[in-house]
């Protein structure tokens, strides 16, 4: 009798931490991970092939995002660049680039690939990675910038 009771209390002790962990993981799944993680994943999927894992760009063909003066000066254009692409020539850190970048916002059927919130998370990841220290951009800010948006040319 005694044995049974103590066995039960042990299993109850085990249940709570496990239940809490399960709940935490479920919540994290629901919220889709932290902003930085989601932004980083989108960067890997859509940008890293050209701009590089470390945001260094590729020679004189693809400009860097890490420490890029152009990016720092054109933060408000970033949502547009992501959606619609950009056509140069542009100067980044003293080097002139002139290869068009296709927009990544829409698939071949014209359907949106990235939501406004994904764009926001991507921007915050880029602005705060590889030594970049941009101001945190809010969802409202991204929405406002996108309202003014058409394919930017420089
Ligand atoms: C197919 C290659 C390619 C991909 C993929 C790509 N870019 Fe670019 N990107 C370029 C090129 C090339 C330029 C230079 C455009 C020019 O010369 O006008 C550029 C320019 C830029 C610029 C402006 C210049 C600078 O360095 O600040 C930003 C910002 C940028 N890209 C962000 C992104 C982001 C964010 C993604 C992912 C959503 C992305 N790019 C995906 C090729 C690419």
**Minimum CA distance residue for ligand 1 atom 39:** 47
Token pair 């850190």 is found at 93
Q: How far apart are CA 132 and CA 75, in angstroms?
A: 12
What is the pTM assigned to this prediction?
0.81
Q: How far apart are CA 137 and CA 126, in angstroms?
A: 11
Report the separation in Å between the CA atom of 101 and the middle of ligand 1, taken as the mean of its atom positions: 5
Where b means 16+ CB within 10 Å and e means fewer, 45-71 reads ebbeeebbeebbbeeeebbbbbebebb
* Residue pair 144/78 in contact by the 8 Å Cβ criterion: no
Q: Which atom of ligand 1 is nearest to the CA of 64?
A: 26
Q: How far apart are CA 152 and CA 154, in angstroms?
A: 7
Position 58 scores a pLDDT of 97
Report the separation in Å between the CA atom of 88 and the middle of ligand 1, taken as the mean of its atom positions: 10
- pLDDT digits over 29-80, tens only? 555 567 678 999 999 999 999 999 999 999 999 999 999 999 999 999 999 9
Q: How far apart are CA 85 and CA 100, in angstroms?
A: 7
């Amino acid at each position: 009798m005694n044995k049974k009771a103590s066995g039960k209390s042990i299993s109850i002790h085990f249940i709570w931490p496990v239940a809490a962990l399960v709940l935490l993981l479920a919540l994290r799944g629901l919220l889709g991970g932290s902003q930085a993680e989601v932004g980083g994943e989108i960067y890997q999927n859509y940008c890293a092939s050209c701009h590089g894992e470390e945001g260094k760009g590729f020679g004189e063909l693809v400009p860097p995002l890490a420490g890029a003066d152009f990016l720092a000066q054109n933060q408000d254009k970033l949502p547009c660049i992501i959606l619609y692409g950009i056509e140069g020539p542009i100067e980044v850190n003293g080097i002139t680039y002139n290869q068009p970048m296709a927009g990544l916002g829409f698939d071949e059927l014209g359907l949106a690939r990235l939501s406004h919130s994904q764009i926001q998370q991507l921007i915050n990841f880029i602005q705060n990675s590889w030594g970049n220290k941009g101001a945190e951009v809010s969802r409202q800010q991204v929405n406002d910038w996108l309202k003014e948006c058409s394919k930017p040319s420089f």
